[in-house]
Structure 1
Amino acid sequence: MVDVIRAGALAAVPHGFLGRRGGVSTGQYASLNVGTGSDDLPRAIEANRTLVANAVLPGAALATVYQVHSAEVVRIDTPFPMAARPHADAMVTDRPGVLLGILTADCAPVLLSDAEAGVIGAAHAGWRGAFGGIGGATVAAMERLGADRGRIAAAIGPCIAQASYEVDDGFYLRFLAEDEGFDRFFKPGRDGHHQFDLAAFVAADLAAAGVTRVEITGLDTYADEDRFFSYRRATQAGEGGYGRQISLIGLPV
């Protein structure tokens, strides 16, 4: 059965953060892998994409982008063909029947909605995108479609948690060079290392953009191997490939 995690902040709109359970892929990609960049069988990936869409908004057209760890946002009216997906890391729409999908494997998926205006957004927030302001850029793009940032609710889905996210001094100092206050998103680790709180950093970016309701699921993709794919875990295990889960939000017809 497909594992769908929902957020109270987004209860007014169809949405879900999906894990790795309930799909058709096998081996290291078992079982709900939707990553077209993986070495999984294309027919399995396509079947899994159909399963996830039907689990959240049956009959909707699934839209994804070619994610590049940027702060680029695109407006979606109708989904792009797979070969023509724009390079971006967030999408916004006001079109019913379109399901926005963000793929992750440790980065933070962010789903956003102004239910009153009928405008939604979805963002892929790795540390680079979050550092570059992907949250604020998504909010601004939603406003251009008629949303009010004061009404926008956001939820940050499963991602690598602070206890699992070790970074080195160079990473830490890059953040402090931008703003010494960013120290609050780090805890001391082993010598020369720190533990980074990605979800809290993304939440702060959204708050700075004027989003007053932000929910964090608090689920750790790295630590929960049975439920989630994890790039870092797969890399450390020398697996040579990794699956991706998807987070979805859409407007009903």
Structure 2
Amino acid sequence: MKLHAPSLSALDGIGHAFFTREGGVSGGIYASLNSGIGSDDDASHVAENRARMAQALGVSADRLITAYQIHSPQVVVAEEPWSVETRPKADAIVTRTPGLAIGVSTADCGPLLFADAKARVIGAAHAGWRGAFSGVIEGTIAEMEKLGADRGRISVALGPLIRQNNYEVSQGFVDEFLREDETYARFFAPASREAHAMFDLPGFIALRLAQSGIERFEDIGVCTYSDPDRFYSYRRSTHRAEPDYGRHVNAIVLTP
């Protein structure tokens, strides 16, 4: 039902989980722990799945919150729970409120969980290529520091996401990165199709974290696309011509 990053598990007062697709009540293409509020799954099934994840994190269902994600660098500070109707549009959440589980929803993008155990400040970021490229990582760190964190103490873990051997992109995609920085060429490998390349999203995320001064970084090394039994994948669903796809929650919480 969930995976853990040893580096975060070792921190006192921090709970976290990268949830898989296992252990829920949804059926069909959503089987079984679909958390996608925006999916076409039965809303009661999604609610039950999210309640199970909240319970696994040691909080009530209303205290597991996610934002309305828009593939942006936007970061919000959470001080109390919000409803589905009032959730802000953002791709990262930070908090110093104990017992408030903050999460991000993914289905190939990179889920990042941040923690400064000494300052008791945590963060969760949805780092797809757009968010990572436009600054969601840097924004998350900056907002955590406003709450008292120190980037020299922040531990960051990267959960399941699509990896390079399954992430084919167009030449236009490559060109956008190279216009920003020619050294980004190292994140692209040849593809079998002409005018395409294979993109190393976890490698790019690791670089942006390192450039931000993060020294405590762990990549748990799991691919969503290549493991359909455990993970949803937007790209795999597209390749299979499925009408929709499930989403994961990846969350972190300050415990007493």
TM-score (norm 1): 0.97
1:133 and 1:87 map into 2 onto residues whose CA distance is 16
Q: CA deviation at 1:212?
A: 0.5
Q: CA deviation at 1:68?
A: 0.2
Q: CA deviation at 1:168?
A: 1.0
Determine the structure 1 residue equivalent to 2:41: 40
- 1:6 pairs, out of 4, 7, 30, with 4
1:57 and 1:42 map into 2 onto residues whose CA distance is 22
- 1:209 pairs, out of 196, 207, 212, with 212
2:222 maps to 1:241: no
2:237 and 2:60 map into 1 onto residues whose CA distance is 33
Determine the structure 2 residue equivalent to 1:17: 18
Determine the structure 1 residue equivalent to 2:181: 179
1:4 and 1:28 map into 2 onto residues whose CA distance is 19
CA contact (8 A) 1:28 1:242 kept: yes
Q: How does 1:17-96 map to 2 (within 5 A)?
A: 17-59=18-60, 61-96=63-98
- 1:130 pairs, out of 126, 129, 132, with 132
Determine the structure 2 residue equivalent to 1:144: 146
1:57 and 1:109 map into 2 onto residues whose CA distance is 20
Q: Which secondary structure state, in structure 2, belongs to the residue aligned with residue 33 of structure 1?
A: coil
Q: Percent identity?
A: 51
2:201 maps to 1:198: yes
1:125-174: CA deviation from partner (whole Å, max 9, x where unpaired): 11000000111110000000000000000001000010000001110111
Q: CA deviation at 1:40?
A: 0.5
C-alpha RMSD of matched pairs (Å): 0.9
2:85 and 2:178 map into 1 onto residues whose CA distance is 39
Structure 2 gaps of 5+ residues are: none
TM-score (norm 2): 0.96
CA contact (8 A) 1:90 1:124 kept: yes
Determine the structure 1 residue equivalent to 2:225: 222
Structure 1 gaps of 5+ residues are: none
CA contact (8 A) 1:158 1:221 kept: yes
Distance 1:80 1:59, change over 3 A: closer
1:248 and 1:22 map into 2 onto residues whose CA distance is 16
1:60-105: CA deviation from partner (whole Å, max 9, x where unpaired): 7111100000000000001211111110000000000100011000
Q: Which secondary structure state, in structure 1, belongs to the residue aligned with residue 217 of structure 2?
A: strand
1:187 and 1:250 map into 2 onto residues whose CA distance is 37
Q: Which secondary structure state, in structure 1, belongs to the residue aligned with residue 218 of structure 2?
A: strand
CA contact (8 A) 1:105 1:159 kept: yes
1:145 and 1:133 map into 2 onto residues whose CA distance is 19
Instruction: Pick which of 58-67 and 78-87 moved more.
Output: 58-67
Q: How does 1:99-138 map to 2 (within 5 A)?
A: 99-138=101-140
2:92 and 2:223 map into 1 onto residues whose CA distance is 22
CA contact (8 A) 2:59 2:100 kept: no
